Structure 1
């Protein structure tokens, strides 16, 4: 439909054409949605509650296996070394606080999105930026691989009959996550919000129940635990072993940079909303991680792949 209007300032006649046309749907548009015009970008921004589900899910999900990674390393020195899991977790949370403060400053300094690559390029040059970018790509790949593998391990632990199909399940989940993310931040946020908040709720319910039972003296221990898995001859608790356990436990920090990279996906004021989301993520992550590590001692948790 065409219409003629006169510009009030210049007096020029302007023809406006409104075409009601939508491109034909194909399997690609059905799978990942239609391409979005650049003009629609402001309408695709998300709130903090959705942003937490989209950008913090990687970091928060790592609480499900970070403590176990520490226990695996400490088990090489025998059962007595497992008591070091909580002090090591405290050190990791201290590192998390430092990283969170750093990214909080970065969010306000780079409101258009400021990850390690952009910050390194602006302050150190192209070579350090490319190094940081390569590290980020590796980190994102490993984050998905480790998170999916850990989730499938928990699934097959609950349903042993699925164990022979664990590889196919993991690959299928990776493809599912890829397709959902290709549909855009807004749609993926709506899809991931429910499982993310369900996970957070169940984790807080679990650790909360454990702490209450610990305080009331009703917390039991693992019944018929599997044999502790070690790599061979027991070793001494050395600084190298502690540092090795610390580095393995820093899996709890995977994906923490995502919010800083995705500032433009938040509603205005972007920097403020992204910063608040980052602080909430760090608080939830620290609380769950420390709670799980603390309870691992009283319940006599033993690392096992079974």
Structure 2
């Protein structure tokens, strides 16, 4: 039944040969890998206005040059990551670039920051989409956390079904959002050009603003740059593209950058001309839509598609997190289970781990993760900076054809990314201080895992050495009574023609122990029985003491001690909970005995 349910939810397993069929075309990749970046137009412009509003609404005209600055940064990042794609066609993005050019620790800072950022992507995006829904239906507001968790579970299951299937489903709402936003911007611009928007709604460009400062402008620019989160996802996910993968990924990256630039500038322009003032009850996009088309059917379509894109923005994390985890795992910095492909050929362990971590974050912050956006953004701009610096170093030492132009592009990207990262750290320190804790902690964990794998490798590596001589075998069989289960184990051990066999029984009552010994002598006279009295009703502790005694006695005789555990297996899975699991406790305790071999002899029940 469990297998049938899994097949229904996730789908039939795919053969390894079908891996090529799971690659993405440019149109599907644009939808599945750009949703995070494109969704940022729903909150990026608003973040700029919220900062400028602390001075005066007259300062809103500064949003226009700030938007231009954000687009310049976007262009620099797009061109820079386009070079990353061709230089590192196997994916890995900022992690691989930083590791190979700046050293292991720089790579771990980039990789660790992005892993955390993708978790935040899922939590923040789903929570923002949930807020959009509960804003339209206030009665659902009390269920924000439950709704957000439901969306995370749905996205996790969808991605477990495979890359192409999730892309096919998610492509429609993403492209619908783009079309709807372009129509909204077109209608709004038409209203402005035809004079339907009064000039009194906004302050003229260049109007002096009392109290404005460079610090405020830099803070607004940094806030607006949060719209660029997700730009790096395509460079991480190159292996998901159809061949030629680098070329297709590059074209997808350029298309995403162009669409994002148009939508971002369009929303900022309309917000300025309509004189939109952010408030806690209605988003900037909602106010623009109402001002442009009124509260009609199209208005609700805009709100619906905005909510969908905010939720689906989380899917960028599901696409990029598993692939980044694979690269870190191959280098030995995180567990190797992240390299395992699931039934549908996706890296299912990474997908599931991401979903669990996002749900924990949503529950921890009660679904209100808006104040994590600065941390979310700084977690991207640190890898941005490291990746661009790494590429600058690569071109400087490689000096391949056209290296000067390539170096100039990456240098510009590095300088701007560094400035933005510093802006976040300085202007939003109260929100981003955790980065100074979790980045060093993550690097420490990465190194400890690496040390463990190195130590395991050294101990498992084949080399010339003398193996201990085994002169004979001593088999110990813990018994709980005289049953078919015990009989089955004894029969198996006797078939091995073992020299020494000892049955071990733990009694909770001394009278009972005497009676059991007498019955055993009649039932198995050729098998020695050792009985221990346990006044505190413990089973494992007396057994451990006996094994320690036996090990000490046979320490220098060359005997190998083997513990044979009889275990019966019920026919149905749920029957297990009806029986004590003493065999499991014994096996768990014996695993810590270095010189003891553990053997389980199962006895399958028929009813």
- TM class by smaller structure: 0.7 to 0.9
Secondary structure in 2 matching 1:301 = coil
Q: By how many angstroms is 1:220 displaced?
A: 6.3
**Distance in 2 separating the partners of 1:304 and 1:171:** 26
Is 1:236–2:214 an aligned residue pair? no
Equivalent residue runs for 1:166-177 within 5 Å: 166-177=144-155
Aligned to 1:112: 90
Choose from 248, 263, 268 the match for 1:293. 268
> What does 1:40-55 align with in structure 2 at a 5 Å threshold?
40-55=18-33
1:155 to 112, 116, 133: 133
Q: Residue 252 of structure 2: which of 277, 283, 286 is its match?
A: 277
Matches of 1:93 and 1:51 in 2, distance apart?
22
Question: Which of 1 and 2 has greater Rg?
Answer: 2
Change (3 A) 1:194 1:76: same
> 1: distance between equivalents of 2:129 and 2:45?
15
Q: Distance in 2 between matches of 1:112 and 1:173?
A: 31
CA–CA distance in 2 between the matches of 1:220 and 1:169? 41
Match of 1:18 in 2: none
Which aligned pairs between 1:172-251 and structure 2 lie closer than 5 A?
172-219=150-197, 236-251=211-226
Please list every run of at least 4 consecutive aligned residues from structure 1 whose deviation after the TM superposition is greater than 6 angstroms.
none
Report the TM-score, using the length of structure 1 for normalisation.
Answer: 0.83
Partner of 2:112: 134
1:89 aligns with 2:67: yes
SS at match of 2:53: helix
- Distance between the aligned counterparts of 1:124 and 1:33, measured in 2? 42
**Compared CA separation, residues 133 and 247, structure 1 to 2 (3 A):** same
Report which stretch shifted further, 155-164 or 194-203: 155-164
Q: Which moved more, 1:254-263 or 1:286-295?
A: 254-263
1:107–1:114 contact (8 Å) kept in structure 2: no
Q: Of 212, 228, 240, which residue of structure 2 is paired with 1:265?
A: 240
Can you list the C-alpha shifts for 1:129-174, whole angstroms capped at 9, x where unaligned? 0000111012212222222232223223333333222232222222
In the alignment, what sits opposite 1:232? none
1:160-196 alpha-carbon deviations (Å, 9 max, x no partner): 3332222322222222222212222111101111111
The answer to which structure, 1 or 2, has the higher relative contact order (CA under 8 A, 6+ apart) is: 1
Q: Which residue of 2 aligns with 1:13?
A: none
Give, in angstroms, the shift of residue 113 of structure 1.
Answer: 1.1
CA contact (8 A) 1:139 1:254 kept: no
- For 1:101-146, what per-residue CA distance to the aligned partner results, in whole angstroms no more than 9, with x for missing partners? 0110111111111411011111111100000011101221222222
Aligned positions, number? 272
- Correspondence for 1:3: none
Matched, 1:59 2:37: yes
Q: CA deviation at 1:304?
A: 1.4
Cα shift at 1:100:
0.4
Moved more, 235-244 or 196-205: 235-244
Do 1:259 and 1:274's aligned partners in 2 also have CA atoms closer than 8 Å? yes
For 1:161 and 1:198, the matched residues in 2 are separated by 27
2:171 partner SS: helix
Q: Give the CA RMSD over aligned residues.
A: 2.0
2:273 partner SS? coil
Q: CA deviation at 1:98?
A: 0.6
Contact in 2 for aligned 1:62/1:147 (Cα 8 Å): no
* Corresponding position: 1:77 with 2:52: no
How many angstroms apart in 2 are the aligned matches of 1:67 and 1:150? 15
Moved more, 145-154 or 283-292: 145-154
Measure the CA separation in 2 of the matches of 1:127 and 1:184: 33
Aligned to 2:318: none
